Structure 1
Amino acid sequence: MADEFMKGFGILVTAGLGWLVVAGWYKTPSFQGPQLLGTYPEDPGVYTQIAIALGEGLFYFAILGALAFWVLIPVINQAREAYAERK
């Protein structure tokens, strides 16, 4: 179980750091306003659009990847063991 925890934690930290970088660059208009949760630029260029898509993908990958290794895989393993014992 420790290896699943560390895989999920690694995904959360790595993808979360990538999201923080992209959000810091594109969603922080000033230090007095909302930081990391502001709005994206209204007329982004091609590279900005790629970075925004990458940032959004990293955010959801961090959340879903950690949940997959912390919740989904252990539940599947326990269900397999319970099924094998019952059989």
Structure 2
Amino acid sequence: MADEFMKGFALFALGGLGWITFGGWYRTPSYYQVSQLVNPAEGVDTVYAEVGLVVGDVSFWVMVLGALTFWVLVPVSREIRRSLDDDGEAAN
């Protein structure tokens, strides 16, 4: 279980770092606003800025889905597989 936790934590940390970095560059018009990282992008007029927006969005979903996968889905699938194996052995 510790291995899955660290994999999920690594994806959570790296995705969060990417999301905060690219969100700070492209989605923060002023540091005095309350909602900084979720603002719509302004002044995106180059290909590099578009790539930065895509990388920021991908980083957010890596953060969310990576942690969800390793913290919830993998342990649940192992428990389901273990319970199905136990039911099959009990039937024999």
TM-score range (shorter-chain normalised) is over 0.9
- Percent of matched pairs sharing the same residue: 41
In structure 2, the partner of 1:31 is 31
Indicate the RMSD between aligned Cα atoms, in angstroms: 1.2
Aligned to 2:45: 44
May I ask how many residue pairs the two structures share in their alignment? 87
Alpha-carbon separation, structure 1, partners of 2:45 and 2:75 = 41
Structure 1 residues 27 and 43: CA distance shift in structure 2, 3 A: closer
TM-score normalised per structure 2: 0.88
TM-score using structure 1 length: 0.92
Runs of 5+ consecutive residues of structure 2 not aligned to the other structure: none
In our comparison, the structure showing a higher alpha carbon Rg is 2
Match for 2:53: what amino acid? I
Q: Kindly report structure 1 stretches of 4+ aligned residues shifted beyond 3 Å.
A: none
